[in-house]
Amino acid sequence: MHSKLTPVRRAAAVAGGALATALVLAACGGGADTPEAAVENFYDNGAEDFLGAFAEGDFDKVAEVGADYFCEEDVTDIQSTADEMKSMSDEEIDAMMGSMPDFSEVDFEYDILETTEDGDTATVEVEVTGPDFATGEESTETSTMNLVKEEDEWKICGGDFLS
């Protein structure tokens, strides 16, 4: 059974998923020539900007920052969602964003556990410690990230936040 989500429900689902994905499913950008470098680059250089823009409701900036770290297909989906969210009322956005944590000084600790590379695709298993968005407490998550190589750079592709 397939059901169409209203823009508010879709945006809320995207909001929650994007935040979780940004913590757990990080990726590359900035000329990362290995999958590991892509993960490191995101956590060292992009995660705070990506999450901060999202928390501020600057959805165009979310897509702009995402372009450095996510594959072209996902960036297109992020921009489409950003465009939908811009048509939402302030009340709808406030309800969706809820009690969003302050991401201005978020620190992540990460350990790359295992990498598997096959041509222009790779998976990276990473353990990430950072804030839990529901409780605000620090938590540790382990996830396997899918990456693709686009124009000689590794990028995350197929993030759950786009569904």
Asked, for residue 92, whether it belongs to a domain, the answer is yes
In the predicted model, what is the mean pLDDT of residues 96-108?
A: 66
| Cβ 150 vs Cβ 67: under 8 Å | no
Asked, for residue 14, whether it belongs to a domain, the answer is yes
3-state class (DSSP) for residue 116: strand
Asked, for residue 2, whether it belongs to a domain, the answer is no
Confidence of residue 29 (pLDDT cuts 50, 70, 90): very low
Cα 101 off chain centre by = 15
| Cβ 133 vs Cβ 20: under 8 Å | yes
CATH number (domain holding residue 123) = 3.10.450
In the predicted model, what is the mean pLDDT of residues 34-57?
A: 82
From CA 138, how far away is CA 107, in angstroms rounded?
Answer: 10
Asked, for residue 67, whether it belongs to a domain, the answer is yes
The domain containing residue 43 runs over which residues?
7-162
Q: Tell me the sheet residues that pair with 149.
A: 154
Residues 57-93: tens digit of each pLDDT? 787 888 898 888 888 998 898 888 888 887 888 888 7
Half-sphere exposure for 129 (CA within 13 Å, toward CB): 4
**Domain total in the chain:** 1
pLDDT of residue 4: 44
3-state class (DSSP) for residue 140: strand
Asked, for residue 128, whether it belongs to a domain, the answer is yes
Asked, for residue 1, whether it belongs to a domain, the answer is no
pTM of the complete model: 0.69
Comparison of pLDDT for 36 and 21, the residue scoring more:
36
